[in-house]
Structure 1
Amino acid sequence: MRTVGVEEELLVVDPAGVPVPLAPEALEVAARRGEGETVGEHDRAQQSDAAPDTDAAGAPAGPRLVPELKEQQIELGTRVCRELDEVAAELRHWRSRADAAAATVGARVAALASSPVAVEPETTPGERYAQTVEVFGLTAAEVLTCGCHVHVSVDDDEEGVAVLDRIRVWLPVLTALTTNSPFWSGRDTGYASFRSQVWNRWPSAGPNAVFGTPARYHQLIAELVATETVLDEGMVYFDARLSATWPTVEVRVSDVALRVEDAVLLAGLVRGLVETAAREWRSGVPAPEVRTEVLRVAGWRAGRSGLTGDLVDPRTGQPAPAAEVVTALVEHVRPALGDSGDTERVEAGIADLLRRGTGAILQREVFDETGDPAAVVRAAVAATHGD
């Protein structure tokens, strides 16, 4: 069974619901507990080519709570998991530990992919973060978005690139399933995921063409770094990529999910996609030759309406109701879900999500009732922790 791990970025907010730049202080507390990494330690780690230590099972060892680009963010990372129950337990545990660390400095954490409240983002201290803002200007200075990245194990780069070539057409559906950022600068954007719009300002972000071979993949990475536009390989922000540190495919298209169960559903679907793609590759099924421009439009449409409108159906390239396209995704990965024991959980998660809607729906419902962006944040804090 392929292993899976999840990284989530969370907003740090005060009791009133306003994002506050208290992540460095909260992480100092977490570090003293052995759960977190200080800003200085993380900055040094980012500049090092050395892989992090691992435990006996090959999972990353050490802190699970780390800084992000903005002082209003904390990132968590699960250990390597085999079962979706493990993913759920890890996410609940580390959301709780991040919240406990934030509470020591008078704050909470919320799984929101953007802030409903207008806020001035403050850049985390550190050489790399300062360089990022200097190079990318307003794109880096004003960004305050929280995503979810899912890692799934692959045997080697050959299998990994074959997977990337075959899952790319389905990634916009994952964006639609996790939409959780309808607000920006205190106003409704009209998008279900405005994070996906903001994220695509980065020059290396978005979908890519079929790679074909690991050599072509790594050649492209080297060519991007050689432009001296991105700082290093870590800033190649493809929708999905090979991890530079772990033997995994990393899928990066999703908003952070408001509810833990939606993040677990995402992890199950990504693992199913990776396994399905690997089987197709071994069976000689060619990668779909869909133009990158079409995928960019499909991703835009997914971020615009989420599950409330039409999505681009990867099978036809034509619009179809979101529920129909989501059902097609489940059918596409059903054999892999069955072999990993994930079918029942994924089907139940899809049914629940289609019934109640994504985090974007909840945010708008609260705002329609209250007219108060801060009330949206407070409701999100409760949902983040299962209340």
Structure 2
Amino acid sequence: MRTLGVEEEFLIVDPHDGGPLPIAGEVLRLHDLGRAAEAPPSYPMLAVELQQEQLEVIIGPHSSLSGLAAEIRAGRSYADSLARKAGARITALATSPLPVRPRHTRNARYDALLDKFALTAREQLTCGYHVHVSVGSDEEGVAVLDRIRSWLPPLMALSSNSPFWNGADSGYASFRTQAWNRWSTAGPTDLFGSADAYHSLVERLSGTGVVASPDFDARLSARHPTVEIRVSDVCLEVRDAALIAALVRALVETAAREWEAGHAPDMVPTAILRQGTWLASRFGMDANLLHPIAHKPDTAGNVVTALYDHVRDALNESGDTAFVEESLRRILDQGTGASWQRQYYERSGSLADVVAHATGVTHGETDNHHPRRERLLANAENASRRSDLVALRH
């Protein structure tokens, strides 16, 4: 069983007005005090990010999805307990609905980033969700990267959770993706073909003097024997975070088997993959996406079903099938974090209320009941092959 680890990035917000608070340093100080008082420490790993309004919680590795989900929940609770001591809360929103001027974390690395990337870095207050899956070697890892390229936009669509940006509706389901793709190496990659070719490209990129390490949508981890998938928004609900992790592990396992069997990767041009990324970022699950095999527009329901069919064998063997089926049905019927945020704003008219409710959902304090709604997902030709996965409403 391939192991799983995740990195969740969260906003630190004012519990009264929902605005981001630049107190990551204080939260980390409280974390360090707690660790020093306990031997051996049993806390999750916390880390600062580029901006002081965000905090990263690092979880893993786990073999079981249930164990991973339990630790994700515990990690959120622990980080929030520290934030509460500092007069704040932790919330799983991938961008701030309310206006903010981020304050960057002062260290040599981030100071250099701010100096080099200017406004791109100054405005970069985004919270992603990175999934690490174990691989046996760099060669296997690169073979996986070459074979999962087309399947990453559906993950982005399923996790979309950032419709608002600095007090306005961006029009996107994942505006985090748009902001993140300002970085010079962000986005989908060309085929590598081998581990040597991958490492050669990384070395050449570093040699340009622009980046020290690439921000590819998927890459080999520089510190762990894993591939790291980086396309997802931080998920509002723990169960959605677990779903993305399950799908990523199944994609990695499926790709590794294809490589072992001698199946060539899809030769789709990166320029086409960028269109799939844009569609997923723009619409989430609320309109057509790019089909990961045909590379033509298709309904979100058909795209999700294609993803499920592609990884079904791996899901069966990991024991994650029932959970993934139920989770996909729920998102197709009830919507993503992005659609929920918009619906809640339409009802309340307050972005501060959106943040407050999202904070409750982040920690399981509030049920996130989405109204059932009509979806443009179905056509008669494909309804029968989808029936074992989703109960779609026509």
Partner of 1:340: 318
Partner of 2:223: 245
Partner of 1:127: 108
Partner of 1:216: 197
**Contact 1:194 1:304 (8 Å CA) reproduced:** yes
How far apart in 2 are the matches of 1:111 and 1:66? 16
Aligned residue for 1:80, secondary structure, equals strand
Q: Deviations over 1:332-363 (max 9, x none)?
A: 00000111111111111111111211110111
Partner of 2:307: 329
**Contact 2:146 2:191 (8 Å CA) reproduced:** yes
Deviation at 1:63, TM superposition (A): 5.4
Aligned residue for 1:78, secondary structure, equals strand
Aligned residue for 1:115, secondary structure, equals coil
Query: Which range is displaced more, 61-70 or 351-360?
Result: 61-70
Match status 1:204 vs 2:185: yes
Partner of 1:270: 248
TM-score (norm 1): 0.92
Partner of 1:20: 21
Deviation at 1:5, TM superposition (A): 0.6
How far apart in 2 are the matches of 1:100 and 1:35? 17
How far apart in 1 are the matches of 2:9 and 2:43? 18
Deviation at 1:79, TM superposition (A): 2.0
How far apart in 1 are the matches of 2:35 and 2:325? 37
How far apart in 1 are the matches of 2:201 and 2:88? 42
How far apart in 1 are the matches of 2:166 and 2:265? 40
Unaligned runs of 5+ in 1: 37-54, 56-60
TM-score (norm 2): 0.90
Partner of 2:64: 83
Aligned residue for 2:94, secondary structure, equals coil
Partner of 1:168: 149
How far apart in 2 are the matches of 1:62 and 1:87? 15
**Contact 1:35 1:64 (8 Å CA) reproduced:** no
1:259 alignment partner AA: E
How far apart in 1 are the matches of 2:335 and 2:230? 21
Indicate which of 84, 87, 92 corresponds to 2:73.
Answer: 92
Partner of 1:281: 259
| Distance 1:356-1:287 versus aligned 2 partners, 3 A rule | same
Deviation at 1:315, TM superposition (A): 1.1
How far apart in 1 are the matches of 2:294 and 2:36? 47
Q: Deviations over 1:75-99 (max 9, x none)?
A: 0011200011011101000000000
Aligned residue for 1:99, secondary structure, equals helix
Indicate which of 106, 124, 133 corresponds to 1:143.
Answer: 124
**Contact 1:35 1:63 (8 Å CA) reproduced:** no
**Contact 1:166 1:277 (8 Å CA) reproduced:** yes
| Distance 1:2-1:107 versus aligned 2 partners, 3 A rule | same
**Contact 1:31 1:63 (8 Å CA) reproduced:** no
1:380 alignment partner AA: A
How is 1:280-299 mapped onto 2 (pairs within 5 angstroms)?
Answer: 280-299=258-277
1:166 alignment partner AA: R
Partner of 1:306: 284
| Distance 1:35-1:206 versus aligned 2 partners, 3 A rule | farther
Partner of 2:342: 364
Partner of 1:260: 238
**Contact 2:44 2:59 (8 Å CA) reproduced:** no
Unaligned runs of 5+ in 2: 367-394
Aligned residue for 2:171, secondary structure, equals coil
| Identity rate, percent | 52
Partner of 1:376: 354
Q: Deviations over 1:45-84 (max 9, x none)?
A: xxxxxxxxxx9xxxxx985111111110010011200011
How far apart in 1 are the matches of 2:123 and 2:5? 29
How far apart in 1 are the matches of 2:235 and 2:10? 10
How is 1:27-38 mapped onto 2 (pairs within 5 angstroms)?
Answer: 27-34=28-35
List 4+ stretches of structure 1 deviating above 3 A.
Answer: none
How far apart in 2 are the matches of 1:250 and 1:372? 36
Deviation at 1:26, TM superposition (A): 1.1
1:21 alignment partner AA: P
Partner of 1:3: 3
Aligned residue for 1:11, secondary structure, equals strand
Aligned residue for 1:65, secondary structure, equals strand
